[in-house]
Amino acid sequence: MIIGITGSSSVLGFALKETFKNFKVVNFTGDICKKKDINSWLGENNLNAIIHLAAIVPIEKVNKNRYKAKKINFYGTKNLVDCVKKTFKNSKIWFFYASTSHIYKFSKKKINEKFKPNPISFYGKTKLMSENYIKKNEKNINYCIGRIFSFTSIKQKKSFLVPGLVKKLKD
């Protein structure tokens, strides 16, 4: 099994690489916004699966540069899907897309997949756009969309939960 990971330098990407020690993992190190980089990566590796994590995630970064966030979060995903369709047109590759709970509005009720998406942030909008594009191309891709609600690690920047708590406790 050969697994390709975009966004492999992220905290989640690092955790997955550690988990997949029994598999061959091929990290995407190019620019997700350049089809040439994606096509090279796909052409050089005989991938069985792709885990797509590449994105601008922190809300403050997304809000500071919405153009860049949309370029990476949506158009980067679109580029990847388009290249995967072209490269694997005769065989379906398994494709995991890391989405977010931000595609839902706040609710006091438990949220499940049957809830209608209503993004609460620009970040959520870019991720929902990507989900819709992947679904539109489902006949070419065996996909799974994971809407991640919470993930934290001491390795994240101080604006995230665990590092923030550690800092508060130390102060």
Mean pLDDT of 20-32: 94
Task: Provide the percentage of residues in the chain whose pLDDT is more than 90.
Answer: 59
> Which pLDDT band holds residue 14 (cuts at 50, 70, 90)?
confident
pLDDT in tens, 60-73: 999 999 999 999 99
pTM, two decimals, is: 0.87
Rg (CA), the chain: 17
Largest distance between two CA atoms of the chain:
57
Helix, strand counts (H, E) of the chain: 7, 5
Which is it for the CA torsion 86, 79, 54, 37, positive or negative? positive
At 169 the pLDDT is 61
Tokens 């500071």 belong to 64
> Which residues, 6+ apart, have CB-to-CB distance to 8 below 8 Å?
14, 16, 17, 25, 27, 28, 53
